[in-house]
């Protein structure tokens, strides 16, 4: 993850910036070692009489790293809440047991294949694992109805992306999770919901989640359809290229 630290013409300040990154973003053992060494680097700078401009650079670097580290810690705590939130949805509908987790794993895998940065893959995984959280506000009778839904029931189902995004509106993490969730049922040709977005107006991660969601839904048994063979699932997704979604393989 790249940090927007100022450029540093002074060698010592460059070493301090690197130490700052290691102390903030390495694994626990590396952070402890880097923090100890980093303290020594800063002390050496003061003892060497480095210009005040370099002192400012170090101070700015420390501030940025600490702020980013705090936000990453907040994000880690948020990710630990994923399991109970997803289970709350799945406990209401046994037919979707494990669906959120599988969609999260598949989206993470697709993101890796597409070459997304590790940080972006984590955000994609978080949003994918929570993509249906808004269904906690949809009546169970509608979620599990084996027959065709009437117009009013369809309208209730189609509110779940918006409801999920609303539930997470005040969650301050490093990724635009709210938008990813709200747009995961939008379609490339504008026929999706809740806002009828199309093409590049749809968040790229939402397109990945849409594919992962459809793959798992079609290949799993539901009250309204049996599980389909993966080859048939793949064929239908490819057939929808440019209309419903953008295939990622």
Residue ranges of alpha helices (H) inside 145-226 are 151-157, 160-167, 177-182, 204-218
Does the annotation mark 145 as catalytic?
no
Which entry of 105, 135, 145, 178 is annotated as an active-site residue?
A: 135
Phi, psi of 2 (to 5 degrees): -80, 135
What are the E-state strand segments in 43-97?
A: none
How far apart, in whole angstroms, are the C-alpha atoms of residue 127 and residue 171? Answer: 12
Its sign, for the CA torsion 48, 51, 52, 58, is: negative
With beta carbons less than 8 A apart as the criterion, state whether 203 and 86 touch.
Answer: no
**Burial class for 242, CB neighbours closer than 10 Å (0-12, 13-18, 19+):** exposed
Q: Which residues are catalytic?
A: 135
């Amino acid at each position: 993850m790249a940090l927007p630290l100022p450029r540093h013409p002074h060698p010592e300040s460059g070493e301090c910036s690197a130490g700052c990154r290691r102390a903030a973003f390495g694994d626990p053992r590396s952070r402890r070692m880097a923090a100890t060494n980093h303290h020594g680097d800063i002390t050496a700078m003061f003892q060497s009489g480095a210009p005040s401009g370099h002192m400012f650079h170090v101070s700015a670097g420390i501030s940025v790293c600490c702020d980013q580290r705090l936000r990453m810690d907040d994000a880690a705590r948020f990710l630990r809440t994923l399991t109970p939130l997803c289970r709350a949805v799945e406990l209401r509908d046994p037919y979707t047991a494990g669906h959120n987790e599988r969609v999260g794993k598949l989206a993470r895998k697709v993101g890796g294949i597409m070459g997304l940065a590790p940080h972006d893959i984590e955000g994609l995984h978080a949003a994918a694992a929570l993509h249906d959280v808004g269904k906690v506000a949809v009546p169970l009778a509608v979620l599990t109805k084996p027959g065709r839904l009437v117009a009013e029931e369809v309208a209730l189902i189609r509110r779940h992306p918006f409801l999920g995004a609303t539930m997470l509106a005040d969650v301050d993490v490093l990724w635009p999770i709210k938008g990813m969730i709200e747009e995961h049922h939008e379609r490339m040709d504008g026929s999706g919901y809740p806002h009828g977005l199309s093409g590049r107006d749809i968040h790229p991660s939402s397109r990945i989640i849409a594919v992962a969601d459809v793959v798992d839904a079609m290949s799993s048994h539901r009250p309204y359809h049996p599980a389909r063979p993966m080859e048939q699932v793949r064929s239908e997704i490819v057939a929808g290229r440019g209309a419903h979604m953008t295939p990622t393989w």
